[in-house]
Amino acid sequence: MTVKPETVTARATVYGYPRQGQRRELKQAVEGYWKGRVTADALRATAAELRRGNWQDLVDAGIHEVPTGDFSYYDHVLDTSVMVGAVPERHRAAIEADPLDGYFAMARGTQDVAPLEMTKWFDTNYHYLVPELGPDTAFVADSGKQVAELKEALALGLTPRPVLVGPITYLLLSKPAPGVAADFEPLTLLDRLLPVYAEVLADLRAAGAQWVQLDEPALVQDRTPAELNAAARAYRDLGARTDRPQLLLASYFDRLGDALPVLAKAPVEGLALDFTEAAAGNLDALAAVGGLPGKRLVAGVVNGRNIWINDLEKSLATLGTLLGLADRVDVAASCSLLHVPLDATLERDVDPQIARWLAFAKQKTTELVTLARGLSQGTGTITAELAANRADLASRAGSPITHDPAVRARAAAVTEAETRRSQPYPERTLAQRAHLKLPLLPTTTIGSFPQTGELRAARADLRAGRIDTAGYDERIKTEIQEVISFQEKTGIDVLVHGEPERNDMVQYFAEQLTGYLATRHGWVQSYGTRHVRPPILAGDISRPEPMTVRWTTYAQSLTERPVKGMLTGPVTMLAWSFVRDDQPLGDTARQVALALRDEVDDLEAAGTSVIQVDEPALRETLPLRAADHAAYLAWATEAFRVSTAGVRPDTQIHTHMCYAEFGDVVQAIDDLDADVISLEATRSHMQVARELAAHGYPREAGPGVYDIHSPRVPSAQEAADLLRTGLEAIPAERLWVNPDCGLKTRDWPEVQASLASLVTAARTVRAEL
């Protein structure tokens, strides 16, 4: 495409940037503050320095408008709660005594008060703190943080654009406060909230903001007509104010659908839309409403959620089409760059062939600037960049890493029969019973045992060369011996080896599979000061050699009881990694599934009779729009079955899920065709058992009776009561007894006492049958 110069001014911008700093300085400062090692002033100074550094990076790269207010000590939704004065009663005193300590009390709780609940930010792996609202909530504007950060940027001579969570999204992400009726709808508070937003906007305008961005990602989800009307009303109302800056309404993560005409008609000056594949349909829908005459369109053409270089020519073509649809078109990433690591050039260990395909936040910023230049000054001004980009893309498309003929042939040849167990559940369960000879209400755990300081030290020693592989293996073996002997003594029926060799349930496998890449510095904020380093699914996936067999067989050699093999399922591997964007997710899932299938088969051949394939992420990867659910669940459940269906009828396949309401995926759980599923259930008092029963779920299930997210030790009586509740929904022949999730975050004494309670409970209830 060629764009005529002098006709267009397009600029590059971003909605947000990684907050933690190159060496996670923010994490260190915040955690230091919590421990009393860092003063409040020092923390503030570190934060200001990080903001300044980020803005400097952006401006140096050529970004025109820089975001402000996207920085956060903990979470931007929590910041919004503070901005609108939605502080729960129980945190009021703390906030009044000291705003910073009160803020952290809302985030983390204190000895006496519970924190806000935390949940996932749309379908990302970022977690936000859920606002608690009720009919008595009185909002009060506090624009202090926003105004201060705006002024910081202005003082540096920058063109800042404050970014706020929009009022509709804020309310739709909220939940009824404790003690408020569960059917209370926070959106009914809109009329009370709008004047507070108006006041913040007026303050920002008075402080010098030309533009303010209001993020409304909740509008890319399925919305009722009433919710869309509320959005229309909100922006009619805010738009009508005369004391406000120009407003940019931003959406991302998916298509706007029915919300697009609503926002296009709103009396605001700009709209930001996602034009990546995740939001396919936005372009046509925008054309269908006649574009945005007289408005500014910010076009999210660079994917803000993955780590791949952009196809610059494709983006320029999209931008060229958009030029005809708005008054002014600016170039942006599809969403905040919060969701990607900072700088790909820090990854010095990555194969240089792959490194050229990677773009983290810094590299994406450069892409945006290149695109804006190409768009406004003509593609002739970016010929070198385009040529380099074309070569990088071609190297990826033609690479043996992304195209392994053996992997592709195998994936293409999977037959329907290979996706099904050789016998239906009612038959194979008999074979399993005969083979395993377990008591009624068998006890087991979910896999991991406490990841002690010694284990972490052993890994660090290995990395630093202080011990060799043999020395490390010895430490792991000693740990396995302890875990096995403890379980035998406690009276657990189906044992685990405890996963001491695993740093992380995804990374451990990523490091061993060909085509999968672990990063060294690719940190992404998960919540607060917690960061994860998602591995990268870079190429076709194959398994050079068994990954877990030796540890499982070692554990099995120590006991007569069955030891469960323990693997991470294909859907979870994808959900907690950066995925390929050059083939459908289902294809990647199938490749991972086939590698796991070999592992499952090898475990079986080595004498493992029970194999668990964890899929805790099955529910959280559900697409944002209901119309896309069926297609996702079809490939996701098939991938699970591909990984597990190769075993004999008498080998028992387990799966595990947590972190979720399961209501809308019970059919999918059924479609996994696992013999046994363990689920998180303690806090909901076995709700999931009732949901499975209502669905007619025919297989075995272990709804958790020990809440591993709490240091509390359950009594045997509590656990027995939960089991009795479980028995009301699931018959004794199909009920298992287990904790909610793995034990790796707990301490040994708690685990010992809790599992003793669990075994006593199982024995007590067995005696009542």
Which residues make up the interface to ligand GLN (CB under 6 A)? 446-448, 499, 505, 566, 614, 616, 656, 658, 741-742, 744
Instruction: Measure the N-to-C terminal CA separation of the chain; round to a whole number of Å.
Output: 75
Q: Least distance in Å: CB of 498 to Zn ion? A: 15
Collapse the DSSP code of 120 into the 3-class scheme (helix H, G, I; strand E, B; otherwise coil) and give the result.
strand
Q: How far is the CB of 394 from ligand GLN (least distance, A)?
A: 39
**Could you say which residues in the range 143-202 bind Zn ion, by CB under 5 A?**
none
Radius of gyration of the chain (CA): 27
CA distance linking residue 112 with residue 200, whole number of Å: 32
Question: In the bound complex, what is the minimum distance in angstroms from residue 501's beta carbon to ligand GLN?
Answer: 12
Nearer to ligand GLN, 423 or 752 (CB): 752
The answer to whether the annotation marks 143 as part of a ligand binding site is no
Task: Specify the residue, 47 or 741, whose C-beta has the smaller distance to Zn ion.
Answer: 741
How far is Cα 574 from Cα 588, in angstroms, rounded to an integer? 8
Using CB under 5 A as the binding rule, the residues of this chain from 588 to 617 that contact Zn ion are 616
**Distance from C-alpha of 306 to C-alpha of 319, rounded to nearest angstrom:** 20
Match 């999918």 to its residue by tokens: 668
Helices (H), 511-626: 549-557, 570-575, 585-605
Minimum Å gap between C-beta 532 and Zn ion is: 16
Q: Is 446 annotated as a binding residue?
A: yes
In the chain, the amino acid numbered 114 is: A
From Zn ion, ligand GLN, none, interface partner of 501 (C-beta below 5 to 8 A by class): none
Q: Which of residues 562-581 bind Zn ion (CB under 5 A)?
A: none
Positive or negative, the CA dihedral 537, 538, 540, 543 is negative
Helix or strand (DSSP H, E) at 215:
strand 211-215
* Torsion, CA 133, CA 137, CA 138, CA 140, rounded to 10: -20
| Residue whose entry in the numeric block shows the structure tokens 């936040």 | 361
Distance separating alpha carbons of residues 390 and 356, to the nearest angstrom: 11
Tell me whether residue 522 or residue 616 sits nearer to Zn ion (CB atom). Answer: 616
Residue of 164, 260, 518, 658 interacting with Zn ion (CB under 5 A): 658
- 25 annotated as belonging to a binding site for a ligand: yes
- Please count the residues of the chain: 769
238 binds, among Zn ion, ligand GLN, none (CB under 5 to 8 A by kind): none
DSSP symbol at 283:
H
Q: Nearest approach, Cβ of 706 to ligand GLN (angstroms)? A: 13
Evaluate whether 556 touches 603 at the Cβ level (below 8 Å): no
Q: What DSSP designation does 241 have?
A: -
505 binds, among Zn ion, ligand GLN, none (CB under 5 to 8 A by kind): ligand GLN
Nearer to ligand GLN, 305 or 619 (CB): 619
Residue (705 or 741) nearer to Zn ion, CB: 741
- How far from 6 is each of 10, 297, 321, CA to CA, in Å? 11, 19, 17
Q: Are 563 and 495 in contact (CB under 8 A)?
A: yes
**Contact range with Zn ion by CB under 5 A, out of 355-363, 500-508, 570-578, 651-659:** 651-659
- Indicate which residue of 435, 531, 695, 709 is catalytic: 709
Task: Verify binding: residue 660, Zn ion, rule CB under 5 A.
Answer: no
Q: List the single partner that 654 binds among Zn ion, ligand GLN, none, CB under 5 to 8 Å by kind.
A: none
Min CB(127)–ligand GLN separation in Å: 14
Please report how close the Cβ of residue 276 comes to ligand GLN at its closest, in angstroms.
29
Site size with Zn ion, rule: CB under 5 A? 3
Q: What is the rounded CA–CA span in Å between residue 303 and residue 318? A: 13
Nearest-CB residue to ligand GLN?
742
* 285 vs 265: CA distance, rounded Å: 13
* Nearer to Zn ion (CB atom), residue 194 or residue 686: 686
Question: How many Å apart are CA 84 and CA 118, to the nearest integer?
Answer: 19
Distance, in Å, from the CA atom of 203 to the CA atom of 206, rounded to the nearest integer, reads 5
Q: Residue 656 annotated as binding?
A: yes
User: Residue 499 annotated as binding?
Assistant: yes
Q: Extract the tokens encoding 311.
A: 């196809």
538 binds, among ligand GLN, Zn ion, none (CB under 5 to 8 A by kind): none
Annotated ligand binding at 31? The verdict is no
Q: Which residues pair with 133 in a beta bridge?
A: 176
Please enumerate in sequence order all residues whose Cβ is within 8 A of that of 465, keeping only pairs 6 or more positions apart, or say none. none
- Dihedral of CA atoms 506, 511, 513, 519 in degrees, nearest 10, equals 90
In order of 653, 679, 732, the CA distances from 704 in angstroms are 18, 6, 15
Smallest distance, ligand GLN to C-beta of residue 107, A? 22
In DSSP terms, 300 is beta-bridged to 274, 332
Cα 537 → chain centroid: 16
Cα–Cα distance measured from residue 762 to residue 764, given in angstroms and rounded to the nearest whole number? 6
658 is in an annotated binding site: yes
CB nearer to ligand GLN: pick between 70 and 614: 614
| CA-to-CA separations, 599 to 377, 568, 615, in angstroms, rounded | 54, 11, 16
Q: What are phi and psi of 290, to 5 degrees?
A: 85, 20
Instruction: Identify which of residues 142 and 675 has a Cβ nearer to ligand GLN in the complex.
Output: 675
Q: Is 545 annotated as a binding residue?
A: no
Dist CA 31 CA 531 (whole Å)? 13
620 is in an annotated binding site: yes
Q: Which of 411, 555 has the CB closer to ligand GLN? A: 555
Beta carbon of residue 616, minimum distance to Zn ion (angstroms, whole number) = 5
Residue spans of alpha helices (H) in 325-417: 352-355, 361-377, 383-397, 405-412
Instruction: Assess whether 709 carries a catalytic annotation.
Output: yes
- In the bound complex, what is the minimum distance in angstroms from residue 613's beta carbon to Zn ion? 13
**739 touches Zn ion (CB under 5 A):** no
Judge whether 696 is annotated as a binding position.
no
Of 572, 566, 635, nearest to 419 (Cα)? 635
Tell me whether residue 24 is annotated as binding: yes
Using the rule CB under 5 A, is 741 a contact of Zn ion?
Answer: yes
Max distance between CA atoms of the chain, in angstroms, equals 85
Question: 581 or 680, CB closer to ligand GLN?
Answer: 680
Q: Closest distance between Zn ion and the C-beta of residue 528, in Å?
A: 20
744 binds, among Zn ion, ligand GLN, none (CB under 5 to 8 A by kind): ligand GLN
Count of CB atoms within 10 A of residue 314's CB?
A: 12
Q: Which is nearer to ligand GLN, 339 or 656 (by Cβ)?
A: 656
Quote the tokens at residue 356.
Answer: 């050229």
Is 26 known to sit in a ligand binding site? yes
Residue with tokens 């120590």, as numbered in its chain: 558
Please give the DSSP secondary-structure letter assigned to residue 578.
B
The entry of Zn ion, ligand GLN, none near residue 448 (CB within 5 to 8 angstroms by kind) is: ligand GLN
Residue ranges of the binding site for L-homocysteine = 446-448, 499, 614
Residue ranges of the binding site for Zn(2+) = 656, 658, 680, 741
Residue ranges of the binding site for L-methionine = 446-448, 499, 614
Residue ranges of the binding site = 24-27, 120, 446-448, 499, 576, 614, 620, 656, 658, 680, 741
Query: Which residues are at the interface with Zn ion (CB under 5 A)?
Result: 616, 658, 741
Residue ranges of the binding site for 5-methyltetrahydropteroyltri-L-glutamate = 24-27, 120, 576, 620
Catalytic residues: 709
